[in-house]
Chain A
């Protein structure tokens, strides 16, 4: 019973174009959402987050959009760069919990 779903295992995007990674969740108690990035042989590193009181949060090339009614969030990377090739995990937390629930991840390939 996955509470956080990333339905695309992989995504290939041309360098310089926009990368859009999608995530759906089922638990309406989630009120904080995060994206983590993971390179091979390294642990996940925090990328960007959004609280449920917002619908957009931007940090440089990275923007996260939240659609609460659809229980959907997306991560936009523009322009995409070779160093963005990694696995991206969507995660969610609720009720001021110390725990976060991860999705399975989407592997992003940036093509030259």
Chain B
């Protein structure tokens, strides 16, 4: 089945220790997104890639970086995690086929704990 895969599902890191979350997709979608969702909050878009073009949200902290080495993979790097970065991180993809709106497909998320 075509899908969006996130690894690991649970990640524990120490305060200030860099961490990388990964997302892969078999849908061959050209757009990939990273969202942060804290408990009882709305998923918040951090950035997205339209093909190789990186689009950062204005309020995304510099502590968050992303890489997309190819169509299938996208990484979220948190350079110096703080306690406030503990959250669920959701990866999503969509295919821009010229339709007015393109549905986003989500992975199961990675829950990040910062000790």
Chain A residues proximal to chain B, CB less than 8 Å: 2, 4, 9, 32, 34, 36, 41-46, 49, 51, 89, 93, 96, 98-105
Least distance between A93 CB and chain B CB atoms (Å): 6
Say whether A4 contacts B42, CB under 8 Å: yes
Contacts of A93 in B (CB 8 A): 101
Which of B13-21, B66-74, B79-87, B92-100 lies at the binding interface? Answer: B92-100
Choose one: B40, B90, B96, B102; the contact of A43 (CB below 8 Å). B90
A89 and B100 in contact (CB under 8 A), knowing A43-B106, A45-B106? no
With an 8 A cutoff between CB atoms, is B8 at the interface?
Answer: no
Q: Mind listing 22 A-B residue pairs with CB under 8 Å?
A: A2-B42, A4-B42, A9-B40, A34-B101, A34-B103, A36-B106, A43-B4, A43-B90, A43-B106, A43-B107, A44-B43, A44-B90, A44-B106, A46-B104, A49-B103, A89-B43, A96-B101, A98-B48, A100-B104, A103-B42, A104-B41, A104-B42
With an 8 A cutoff between CB atoms, is B50 at the interface?
Answer: yes
Say whether A104 contacts B40, CB under 8 Å: yes
B9 and chain A: residue at smallest CB distance: A41
Interface size on B, residues (CB 8 A): 25
Least distance between B80 CB and chain A CB atoms (Å): 26
Say whether A99 contacts B106, CB under 8 Å: no
Contacts of B55 in A (CB 8 A): 98
Choose one: B41, B43, B50, B109; the contact of A98 (CB below 8 Å). B50
Contacts of B107 in A (CB 8 A): 43
With an 8 A cutoff between CB atoms, is B45 at the interface?
Answer: yes
Least distance between A75 CB and chain B CB atoms (Å): 16
Say whether B43 contacts A96, CB under 8 Å: no
Given A2-B42, A44-B90, A46-B104, list of 12 further CB < 8 A pairs? A4-B42, A41-B108, A43-B108, A45-B105, A45-B106, A46-B103, A98-B94, A102-B43, A102-B44, A103-B42, A104-B41, A105-B42
Contacts of A41 in B (CB 8 A): 108
B88 and chain A: residue at smallest CB distance: A43
Contacts of B96 in A (CB 8 A): 98
